[in-house]
Structure 1
Amino acid sequence: MAERPTTNWRHGIAEEAADLAAGTLDPECACTAGLFPEELLTATDTVFDTFEEELARLGDAGDEQVFAVVERVVLALNAVDEVHNESAFDTDEREELCDYIDQSLTEHGVDVVALTARHGLGRYQLTDKWRKW
């Protein structure tokens, strides 16, 4: 199963906290918890909860239904980013979010390469039409 980016981010926060507690990390170098405040993590997980529920109902949906699910998850992530001054997701996070969407679709039987090709897009352009982050 595709791992949510928030799982990785929470792991990084815990790892940093452990390093701080062990004295192996200078507190001035600790930034992970600041990059991923709990409100951001919770909001992003809420978006993914809805996305996963929609994926479970896709079945043999056509391209338009699949694109509608992608549009909704991307717009919801745009809203999360907006609440966080449009700085919630940097380059690495953007890639993780897109990979998660792609992997989740694939796990639910969507051939992302074929889907995007049918619409004149490259595989990694799946979210571009709606994505602001």
Structure 2
Amino acid sequence: MAKRPSDTWRTQMAERARKVATGALAPEGAGAAVPYPESLLLATDAALGAFEDEVRALREPSDDAVFGTVERVVLALNAIDGDDRHGGAGFCTLEREQLCDYIDLTLGGHGVDVTALTARRGLDRSELTDRWRDW
């Protein structure tokens, strides 16, 4: 299974905090004190968890079923990114790329040939989420 981006973000924050605590990094060099608020991480985990559950449940799925699963997770992530409850935090370019890669890798890890799937719709593999993505 692909590693969730939110796990990577938590690890990065912990490493940054450790470096500040040991003096290896000046607090002013650490960037935002809380770049990923817990509310954003929890909401992202919930959306990705629901996506993982849906992908695990796919058995010889049609293209429509796979795209429906992608659409649901992307719309959930759109809602998270635009939610004011996260103190203005959202998905920046790097996070967006990580989320797209995660969706692709999760599908591939469960036997979906993403290249063939997208090609059948006249899309490049990198366009898997584009139809619904606001972030």
Runs of 4+ in 1 over 2 A off after TM superposition: 31-34, 84-87
Change (3 A) 1:87 1:14: closer
Alignment of 1:52-63 (within 5 A): 52-63=52-63
Shift of 1:38: 0.7
C-alpha separation in 1, matches of 2:11 and 2:81? 21
SS in structure 2 of the partner of residue 65 of structure 1: helix
Q: Among the aligned pairs, what percent are the same residue?
A: 55
TM-score after normalising by structure 1? 0.95
Q: Which runs of 5+ in 1 are unaligned?
A: none
SS in 2 for 1:31: coil
The CA deviation string for residues 52-80 of structure 1, in whole angstroms up to 9 with x for no partner, is 11011111110000000000000000000
**Contact 1:116–1:122 (CA<8 Å) still a contact in 2?**
yes
Q: How does 1:108-123 map to 2 (within 5 A)?
A: 108-123=110-125
State the partner residue of 1:82: 82
- Partners of 1:66 and 1:23 lie apart in 2 by 48
2-structure distance, mates of 1:80, 1:33: 20
1:124 to 104, 110, 126: 126
| CA contact 1:12–1:32 (8 Å) conserved in 2 | no
